[in-house]
């Protein structure tokens, strides 16, 4: 089937994944928690469909779920496994997730460097107090040290950020080419049919 090939974008939500490419969009929905964790199995269990060429990745809580006010909890091992198989990602967007484990996985070094070696753009929509700035700074510092610097980091606060929060974010400028932050609404991560115009 043509729609099963050429996926370049993925939106990962608890028990749900939307794959998108030039031939259309395909959604996988699991009712029994089989894809509740963000890890390597989340993306390698779609056989015969391959999601390993994804260049744009969104990871987030489905906005209309009953857990909308709680961040999607991650583990370092799970995030490490997912990023280890999604080697082509250039653009990562995080929406209302527990960010510490994600950043820890991204600054984990191996013999061949860091995970997601092509990652250049990182966007974080801060939801429920889920932005771990110290972990993000360590991640950015490690990537720069290993010649895989982030080109752009954008942080979107749901409410006006405190002076301390802004000061912490500004510390990123030592390790990232461009840092910006503003107040705005998170995108609506929910399936809207074939056009998927809400993510």
CATH of the domain at 65: 3.80.10
Structure tokens at 170: 């500004």
The alpha carbon torsion through 74, 79, 82, 84 (nearest 10 deg) reads -170
Into how many domains does the chain fold?
A: 1
Task: Classify residue 196: in a domain, yes or no.
Answer: no
Q: Is residue 193 part of a domain?
A: no
192, part of any domain: no
Strand partners, 156: 125, 182
pTM strictly above 0.85: yes
In a domain, 139, yes or no: yes
Q: pLDDT by residue for the chain (199 residues), tens digit each? A: 555 678 899 999 888 888 888 878 888 887 666 677 899 988 888 777 888 889 999 998 876 544 456 788 889 999 999 999 999 999 999 998 889 999 999 986 655 567 999 999 999 998 765 788 899 999 999 899 888 899 999 999 888 877 778 888 899 999 999 999 999 888 877 765 544 434 4
Question: In the β-sheet with 9-13, what is the strand arrangement from edge to edge?
Answer: 24-29, 16-21, 9-13, 56-60, 91-95, 121-125, 152-157, 178-183
Domain that holds residue 124: 2-183
In a domain, 106, yes or no: yes
The answer to whether residue 37 sits within a structural domain is yes
């Amino acid at each position: 089937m043509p729609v099963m090939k050429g996926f370049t974008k993925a939106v990962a939500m608890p028990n749900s994944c939307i794959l998108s490419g030039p031939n259309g969009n395909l959604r996988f929905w699991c009712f029994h928690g089989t894809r509740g964790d963000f890890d390597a199995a989340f993306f390698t269990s779609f056989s015969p469909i391959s999601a390993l060429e994804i260049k744009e990745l969104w990871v987030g809580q489905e906005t209309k779920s009953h857990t909308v006010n709680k961040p999607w909890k991650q583990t370092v091992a799970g995030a490490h496994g997912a990023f280890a198989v999604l080697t082509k990602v250039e653009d990562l967007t995080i929406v209302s997730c527990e960010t510490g484990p994600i950043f820890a996985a991204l600054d984990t070094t191996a013999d061949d460097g860091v995970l997601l070696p092509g990652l250049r753009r990182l966007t974080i929509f801060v939801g429920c107090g889920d932005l771990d700035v110290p972990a993000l700074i360590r991640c950015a510092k490690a990537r720069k040290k290993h010649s895989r610097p982030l080109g752009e980091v954008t942080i979107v606060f749901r409410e006006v950020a405190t002076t301390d929060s802004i000061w912490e974010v500004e510390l990123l400028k030592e390790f990232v080419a461009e840092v910006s932050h503003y107040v705005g609404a998170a995108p609506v991560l929910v399936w809207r049919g074939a056009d998927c115009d809400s993510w």
